[in-house]
Amino acid sequence: MALHILLVLMLFPQASPLSPLPDANTITVIDGGKFAPYKKTEFDAGHAVGDGLNGHFFPSVIAYNQGRYNYAMGDFSYIVRNNSFLDANPRKAEFMSITHYLRGIIYLYHARGVGRHALAKADFEAAIKWNPANYMAYLELARTYSDLGFDKEATSTIQHLLGLKPTPDVAAEAEEELKRLAKTKSP
């Protein structure tokens, strides 16, 4: 039991001055896409100081979709650090939730290194905090727990998600995840 508690504290430290999150610089992001030059977008998505949306958010989403995870990670991190650039935008919470969610996906599926799960967990939790209706963030948070063998926490997260009455496709995916978790518990 004491070892389990120690593992939890090591893998999921609380963000505080006494026990900060792991240093993201120790994580290696694995790119899957081909090089493409930076291209600013011209979407009309509302106000953003310093062209935070067309200069950073949308280009990082495009880079993510192309498998250029290092580039996407850099701009997602820039957006997180400078989120006040979006203060005047009525959709700020949506943009920030997506930013944290996609950065969490990169940590979980496209990175290597000690602490990547803690960073993914923190991003999925931040995505949920910015937008509690970001149902996929709950599902990926559960998968983060499951990846580390914390099936009880994963199951609890999925049950909470199902209680929120997500869209039918997300609910079906959550039900499948619950079935998978139940199989891992069976002898």
For 110-124, write each residue's pLDDT tens digit.
999 989 999 999 999
Encoding tokens for residue 139?
Answer: 């599902």
Nearest to 12 by CA among 176, 159, 141: 141
Is residue 168 over pLDDT 50? yes
For 56-79, write each residue's pLDDT tens digit.
899 999 999 999 999 999 999 999
What is the SS3 string spanning the chain?
CHHHHHHHHHHCCCCCCCCCCCCHHHCEECCCCCCCCCCCCCCCCCCCHHHCHHHHHHHHHHHHHCCCHHHHHHHHHHHHHCHHHHCCCCCHHHHHHHHHHHHHHHHHHCEECCCHHHHHHHHHHHHHHHCCCCHHHHHHHHHHHHHCCCHHHHHHHHHHHHHCCCCHHHHHHHHHHHHHHHHHHCC
Whole-prediction pTM value? 0.83
**What's residue 12's pLDDT?**
46
The residue count for the chain: 187
As a whole number of angstroms, the distance between CA 181 and CA 162 comes to: 15
Encoding tokens for residue 87?
Answer: 């203060």
Which domains, from first to last, does the chain contain? 29-113 (no CATH), 132-187 (1.20.58)
Contact 57, 97 (CB under 8 A): no
Residue 51 makes CB contacts below 8 A (sequence gap 6+) with 40
Give 185's strand partners: none
Contact 140, 101 (CB under 8 A): yes
Is residue 162 over pLDDT 90? yes
Contact 114, 26 (CB under 8 A): yes
For 127-145, write each residue's pLDDT tens digit.
999 999 999 999 999 999 9
- Provide mean pLDDT across the span 6-13: 42
Nearest to 127 by CA among 151, 95, 84, 153: 95
Residue 187's pLDDT band, with cuts at 50, 70 and 90, is low
